[in-house]
Amino acid sequence: MTKLSDQYDPGPQISHAGAINLGTKDIEKSLWFFRDILGMEEVERDGDIAYLRAYQELRHHSLVLTQQDETAVNSYSFRTKRPEDVELFYKELQRQEIETLEIPSGTERGRGTAIRFQLPGGDHPFELYFDMDKTEAPDELQSRLPSNSSRRRGLGVRRLDHFNVQTSPSTINQAEAWVRETLGFKRREFAYLPDHPETLMASWTSVTPQMHDLAIVANAQEKSGQLHHVAYNLENLSDALTAADILRDLDVSFGVGPGKHGIGQAMYLYVHDPGSDHRVELYAGGYLIFDEDWEAIEWKPVDFPEGLTWYGDPIDVTPGSRGRDTTNSAGLSHPYLNGK
């Protein structure tokens, strides 16, 4: 039976943030953190590369750990809505004269053909794909709940939530406009630099009803291509408090939290993967957006204290602050975001 929607072509679209490939200097420490403590399933191991997923992710993986000398982000991957969208995006990137590479099926285990390019104005390695295997967990990890890929274990992260990336103040407007105009992300909340009111300090964007799937933030050191954090979702606000208790006892390095953002209204806890020192946010709650006429919310500098931390661990955003963490809970500091 033909659906009404089949009669119309909306053009290529992004479905959601799919996976991240993190370089780590010590893959065993990183596996201890993500697999044994956060409770992710190690789906497959290929030499110095490990593929993991959270307990409500039915596809092959959302996290790739790669043993390497540099703790860089190797790729940020986004799934498209349709198989043909990968080719359509490829043609558009060619039209814009953006260098684009085709990554053959199986290069990343469990994943089909993808395209790779650098975010204009951001220099972040983005990859777009559609096909990814659905994989069953081994018998000893299977859940009786069919919506779960495996049993809830450890701290119980349930899915990849969002990426928070940094680029330079001189290019942030270009990068943020490009993801909206070409990839279809919608601006949900944003802020301008106090001393440059036409330059973004931060923009929270999404293609799903989430408040953000991708945040783009100005970097204090004028750097581009930087990761601030990757976020994994927890089911309940209390899970973030439990995580703080357990991780503190295990001597896992803390950043900021636990507390609640005003921007996005989610509970947060920032910690560091001990194998790579990449920052990971454990993220619970937040609001969803179903209004297609949503008007992006602007945060003024005077409102930052409540926007960044509605309650919980207070964040000092005064110039020159050297508190527990010079970055704040939403990925902002004064006047820019500090990097990893």
What pLDDT, on a 0 to 100 scale, did the predictor assign at position 338? 55
Residues 285/266, Cβ–Cβ less than 8 Å:
yes
Q: Identify whether 182 is part of a domain.
A: yes
Which residue range(s) make up the domain with 195?
Answer: 159-312
What pLDDT, on a 0 to 100 scale, did the predictor assign at position 253? 87
Same domain, 165 and 305: yes
Q: How confident is the model at residue 159 (pLDDT cuts 50, 70, 90)?
A: very high
Same domain, 165 and 306: yes
pLDDT per position as a tens digit, 41-67: 999 999 999 999 999 999 999 999 999
Q: How many CB atoms lie within 10 A of CB 253?
A: 12
Q: Identify whether 233 is part of a domain.
A: yes
pLDDT per position as a tens digit, 278-306: 999 999 999 999 999 999 999 988 777 67
Q: Identify whether 338 is part of a domain.
A: no
pLDDT of residue 98 exceeding 50: yes
- Pick the last residue of a domain from 101, 134, 167: 134
This prediction has a pTM of: 0.92
Same domain, 166 and 126: no
For residues 88-112, give the mean pLDDT: 98
Q: Identify whether 266 is part of a domain.
A: yes
Same domain, 173 and 286: yes
Same domain, 192 and 79: no
- Pick from 264, 299, 43, 68: nearest CA to 161: 264
What pLDDT, on a 0 to 100 scale, did the predictor assign at position 204? 97
Among 16-20, 179-183, 306-310, 321-325, the range scoring the smallest mean pLDDT is: 321-325
pLDDT of residue 256 exceeding 90: no
Instruction: Give how many domains the chain has, as a whole number.
Output: 2
Query: Taking phi first (over 0 means left), then psi (-120 to 50 degrees means alpha), and beta for anything else, what does residue 257 get?
Result: left
What pLDDT, on a 0 to 100 scale, did the predictor assign at position 302? 78
Same domain, 114 and 39: yes
What average pLDDT does the structure give for the chain?
91
The domain that contains 36 carries what CATH number? 3.10.180.10
What pLDDT, on a 0 to 100 scale, did the predictor assign at position 103? 97
pLDDT of residue 334 exceeding 70: no
Cβ-defined contacts of 283-287 (< 8 Å, 24+): 283/161, 283/162, 283/231, 283/232, 283/233, 283/234, 283/240, 284/233, 284/234, 284/235, 284/236, 284/237, 284/239, 284/240, 285/237, 285/260, 286/210, 286/211, 286/261, 287/211
Environment class of 229 (CB within 10 Å of its CB; exposed 0-12, middle 13-18, buried 19+)? buried
pLDDT of residue 325 exceeding 60: no
> Percent of the chain beyond pLDDT 90?
83
Same domain, 116 and 219: no
Same domain, 177 and 286: yes
What proportions of the chain, in percent to the nearest 5, are helix, strand and coil? 20, 35, 45
Same domain, 95 and 227: no
Same domain, 36 and 128: yes
Residues 213/289, Cβ–Cβ less than 8 Å:
no
Q: How many CB atoms lie within 10 A of CB 43?
A: 24
Q: How confident is the model at residue 180 (pLDDT cuts 50, 70, 90)?
A: very high
Same domain, 199 and 293: yes
Q: Roughly how many angstroms between the first and final C-alpha of the chain, as a whole number?
A: 52
By three-state DSSP, how is residue 136 classified? coil
Same domain, 203 and 82: no
What pLDDT, on a 0 to 100 scale, did the predictor assign at position 318? 39
Q: Identify whether 333 is part of a domain.
A: no
